[in-house]
Amino acid sequence: MSTHDLVLVVDFGAQYAQLIARRVREAGVYSEVISHKLKLSEILKLNPKAIILSGGPASVYADNAPSIDKEVFNSGIPVFGICYGFQLMAQSLGGSVSKTGESEYGSTTVNVEVKSKIFNGLKPHQEVWMSHGDAVTKAPQDFIVTATSSGAPIAAFESTYLALAGVQFHPEVLHTQNGQTVLEHFLFDIAKLKPSWSTGNITEELITTIKDQIGEGLAICGLSGGVDSAVAAALVHKAIGNNLTCVFVDHGLLRQGEKEQVENDFVNATGAKLVIKDAKQRFLDALKDEKDPETKRKIIGREFIRVFEEAADEIVKSAQKPVDYLVQGTLYPDVVESGEGSATATIKSHHNVGGLPDDLTFKLVEPLRKLFKDEVRKVGKELNLPDAIINRHPFPGPGLAIRVVGEVNQDNLEILRSADAIAREELTKAGLDELVWQFPVVLLADVRSVGVQGDGRTYGHPIVLRPVSSEDAMTADWSRLDHELLARISNRITNEVKEVNRVVLDITSKPPGTIEWE
């Protein structure tokens, strides 16, 4: 990927810095996220063709607010500021930022004041997504104010001869009308870049990178049955062949049919070596009496690694050489939510990022770490993986353990497994698998409610249906499923799963809620 023009997204603590990078890639330009703590010399070594400054939760005038070397604006590299990045650009170049008392959150109308490259060809009134309490009140010298809003006297500015521009709103979110067009105007009209990047032309580059990293070494890959680990394994298998052994851990936290899918679909498509480890009781014992979701994730991450180490020991005995590498299907959103982005908050630890034990002995191979889910699916198609794997709904590595709100035991898992199977079956029958991004089914094991079944009083558990629509899991909205479909799912669950007497629908977007409950 290093052979492509690079746009750097400087992260100032925004949860959506990765989303900006994704939008840049959609425009056909490769992008990566970096910390605002990087020195200018380090940034210049990366040879970026343009820089985008992300949003962030701080005020630019606050003590210890995240910043960047102001010389970046004099480096000759085109720079585009978004929200916090826009305010930082203004302040760094002699403008003013202050709290005006006119905060804007959500959909807002901006008025395009003059002709500009950023808004070229767009209508004079644009609906955009705002999220700010501070505002730019004075633009830097030689900058033209190009847009205003009711809460932002300066909602956008640009200096075309300096190749600098910025906007107060968030063009990266789908709620902003023509947001992608605004970004592309910066990339193509101000930064003068050419679209040359796509997932179709990086597969061979990824394989080459893997070869360089592993060489003649041995690697194991933990397969979950999901698209992420399957594509990661397929890439590594292309690179090192039989020096890869895939390990499928049956931890007892799987949904119905997942073990069989891995055994049949993946192995048939790739020819990779597969070892199945039955560790159901081990995980149940480790999770016994534990209800805290973060602790659950860390327990599962720890036990995964311990099982991998045991599998590696067995491989070493037969191969007569060490297994040094562990392949994982870590994606960009995993890294962001685990708090590894600069100044980002930890939303939840992912078992393959924040949940790894400190005494990990493997060297990690994470070929998908800089890709989003939709990009991973495209790479999977390049590798000729079957649609059953490529189009599978995302499923968390910790499995059903984080969809049981309460204690993870065999009884609760069986309740949830049965309800989940019904929901998935009905969604497939309705032909909606590809229209719904993900369909978590959650058991509230610590909650009981009164019901009536067969003229008798029941005291059963609620099941939560959480169908969501998304592009990349960074943001999501609840899927508006047909009421008749929801009714069929509810009726079947309450009729067929005797421990459940209530089915509810989660209609929360992300943000403020995450897709998974834990």
Tokens of 388: 């059953």
Q: Quick one: tokens of 500?
A: 């459940």
In degrees rounded to 5, what are phi and psi of residue 78? -60, 135
> Are 25 and 31 a contacting pair, CB within 8 Å?
yes
Q: Of 32, 172, 258, 499, which residue is the catalytic one?
A: 172
Task: Give the β-pairing of 79-82 and 164-167.
Answer: parallel
Angle between helices 373-382 and 203-214 (to 10 degrees): 90
Q: Which amino acid is at 367?
A: P
For residues 85-96, one letter each, b for 16 or more C-beta atoms within 10 angstroms of the residue's C-beta and e for the rest, the string is: bbbbbbbbbebe
**Lookup: tokens for 42:** 């380090």
Tally of CB atoms within 10 A around 45: 10
Which pair of tokens denotes residue 513?
Answer: 């809620």
Instruction: For the beta carbon of residue 403, count every other beta carbon within 10 angstroms.
Output: 28
Count the neighbouring beta carbons within 10 Å of the beta carbon of residue 487. 11
Per the DSSP assignment, residues forming a β-bridge with 246 are: 221, 274
Whether 83 is catalytic is yes
Active site residue 36: no
**Cα–Cα distance between 54 and 14 in angstroms, integer?**
7
CA distances from 234 to 24, 69, 246, 392 (A): 27, 42, 10, 16
Annotated active-site residue in 4, 170, 251, 351: 170
The amino acid at 476: A
Among residues 32, 83, 158, 221, the one annotated as catalytic is 83
d(CA 247, CA 245): 6
Q: Backbone dihedral region of 256: left (phi > 0), alpha (psi from -120 to 50 degrees) or beta?
A: beta
Locate 476 and state its tokens. Answer: 């999501």
Known catalytic residue at 483: no
CA distances to 138, 368, 377, 381 from 387, in Å: 54, 19, 9, 8
Catalytic residue set: 83, 170, 172
